[in-house]
Amino acid sequence: MPLTPFHLGPALLIGLFLFKLLHLPTFLVANVIVDLHSIIMVLTGHYPTHGLMHTFLGGAFTAALLSLIMTWFDEKIQKIMSVFKLKQNHCRKKIWFTSFAGVYLHIILDSLLYTDIKPFYPLNYNPFYSLLGSSEVYILCALSFILASAYYVCCYLRH
């Protein structure tokens, strides 16, 4: 997906529906952090834009590092989340699980669209490519954001 924004739709929808199981701020960050490498590649004119961070192997490293960072800053993050009525209890296991789930969701969504992504690296194989067309993926992501926004207003802002 073009540099991250579309990933927030599914991340927010899944994160809100599974609010008790997932650490929402970690899930949101995990779904966009994978594109850091892609942003750097695009800005510097290097290609291919997708690299090791768009593989499950590289994603595991990214998720582990993100888990440490999110655990470290969780208390400060929860102060921000409380403004949005989305404060959650701190739980390291939840943060670790959520980090991996979010990073891997990002990789799978992008694997549907791009031929240069090899999620099972070092294998040169992408079983997800073209399972859905690009317009379907973009519509799914945009619709997810709309549904997540409505769900948030109905379930979290009413209280």
pLDDT at site 74: 93
The CA-based angle 34-111-57, given to 5 degrees, is: 55
What residue spans define the domains of the chain? 5-155
Residues whose CB falls within 8 Å of the CB of residue 78, separated by 6 or more in sequence, listed in order: 87, 88, 90
Q: How many CB atoms lie within 10 A of CB 36?
A: 13
pLDDT (tens digit, 0 to 9) for every residue of the chain, 159 residues total? Answer: 555 678 999 999 999 999 999 999 999 999 999 998 888 888 888 777 788 899 999 999 999 999 999 999 999 999 999 999 999 987 899 999 999 999 999 999 999 999 999 999 999 999 999 999 999 999 999 999 999 999 999 988 776
Give, in degrees to the nearest 5, the angle at Cα 141 between 133 and 36: 95
